[in-house]
Amino acid sequence: MAEIGHANVDVWDPASEVNWDLRWPRSIRAYSRMAREDTQVKSILRAVSLPIRRTTWRLDPNGASDEVVRLVAEDLRIPILGDDGRAPLAETGGRVSLRQHLHWVLKMLTYGHAFFEVVYKEVDGRDRLHKLAYRPPGSIQEILVESDGGLAGIKQVPPPGGKGKPVEIGVEHLLAYVNDPDDFTWTGNSELRAAYKHWVLRDRQLALEDNVLQRNGMGVPWYEAGTDEPEEIKRGERIAKKVNAGKSSGGAGPKGAKLSILGVNGQLPSIREPIAYHDSMIARSVLAHFLNLEGKGGSYSLAEIQADTFIQSLQTLAESIADTLNQFLVERMVNLAFDVEHGPYPKITFDPIGSVKDLPMETLSTLVAAGVILPDKDLEEEVRRRGGLPPKRPLEGA
């Protein structure tokens, strides 16, 4: 049965972004500034992206032939699940590394989306993956969408200095990632959207705090003249404005004159407290608020619970990335290289987030003693490497 409705939304749709500065494409500049200038924003983006990049990504054969699995593993420079790594992957001449690709994929956390042009090159009679070329958000002039909400392509502005027409890239040449979408505009949502108002308010308060320190940090010099003579009052004003600390600082005045450093009367409101509050809200927007505990007593059990929730969110994000890679990249690679239209296809997987931990030597010794791990040449070499021990050499005269 044919589809009847459509998935397009109007610019005045009630669910659309109400802040025009955060509507695409104007949002690119705002989020770029947040990610580039702010230490708290930079730290939460790294807290989300680094665990995903650090975990080991692998290729699961999933019933595909050895030839198919080998081709995908070589083109993506990714280890094969269950492979001991003794057989090195061949060099294909491509410019793709899944680890490097993930760095650019995770830019969607900042901008809401990430688009790549998929480039193939014929090698020994097969179409091999040559490049996953990132198309920066600032270069995208228009995102083309079908009436059913499917991606049709993108238009890029001409290259800097160029006078040509916009460059249109069809969906058949694209690999697209969209973060937490609310609709089918393919712009997605930045992870910084919920933190934006806290970032704006905190930025104002930081500037205000600096002004307060400058005006009230040392007090205000006040000169009280000994007479009502205008000249003496003006001279005293000049002295007060030039007051400065130093080894040779000092001064003198007529009898009755007095120079004082006036402080602030009453209690000023704390500016640091709202700044800390907005910092915590920025971290909470990505479930990373356990980063703000700052060693306060009684907080660590709560931090562990919060960290578990945060890791689950990272796991979900990584699974979404893997789904996109498998559905829109791996299947295409196999279909083009082997001229087929069906599987089985290998699939990209990853180790659970947070599972990459150093194994203490005491634990390793216990596992070996219990027979869970059998010592072999590879294990001995790894233990020597971690312990800073010299490599094993044959005994002389043996």
- pLDDT tens track for 121-139: 999 899 999 999 999 999 9
pLDDT at 304 exceeding the cut of 70: no
Beta bridge partners of 350: 57
How far is 111 from 180, CA to CA, in rounded Å? 11
Contact 110, 91 (CB under 8 A): no
How far is 298 from 293, CA to CA, in rounded Å? 10
Q: pTM of this prediction?
A: 0.80
Higher-confidence residue of 83 and 22: namely 22
Q: How many CB atoms neighbour CB 281 within 10 A?
A: 19
Percent of the chain past pLDDT 90, that is, above it, reads 49
47-64 mean pLDDT: 94
Listed in sequence order, the residues at least 6 apart from 282 whose beta carbon sits closer than 8 Å to its beta carbon are 40, 41, 44, 195, 198, 199, 202
Amino acid at site 188 = G
252-271 mean pLDDT: 76
Contact 8, 145 (CB under 8 A): yes
- Mean pLDDT, the chain, rounded, equals 86
Nearest of 268, 274, 273, 269 to residue 199 by alpha carbon: 274
Distance of CA 214 to the CA centre of its chain: 35
Beta bridge partners of 143: 154
- For the chain, what are the domain ranges? 1-208+298-357, 209-291, 360-391
How far is 307 from 315, CA to CA, in rounded Å? 12
How far is 158 from 71, CA to CA, in rounded Å? 35
Contact 92, 84 (CB under 8 A): no
DSSP 329: I
Q: How many CB atoms neighbour CB 49 within 10 A?
A: 20
Amino acid at site 203 = D
pLDDT at 232 exceeding the cut of 80: yes
Percent of the chain past pLDDT 70, that is, above it, reads 88
User: How many residues does the structure list for the chain?
Assistant: 398
How far is 286 from 311, CA to CA, in rounded Å? 11
How far is 57 from 100, CA to CA, in rounded Å? 12
Contact 178, 113 (CB under 8 A): yes
pLDDT at 12: 75
pLDDT at 292 exceeding the cut of 80: no
pLDDT at 296: 53
Place of tokens 């020994």: 124
87-107 mean pLDDT: 83
Higher-confidence residue of 217 and 181: namely 181
- Element housing 156 (H / E): strand 151-156
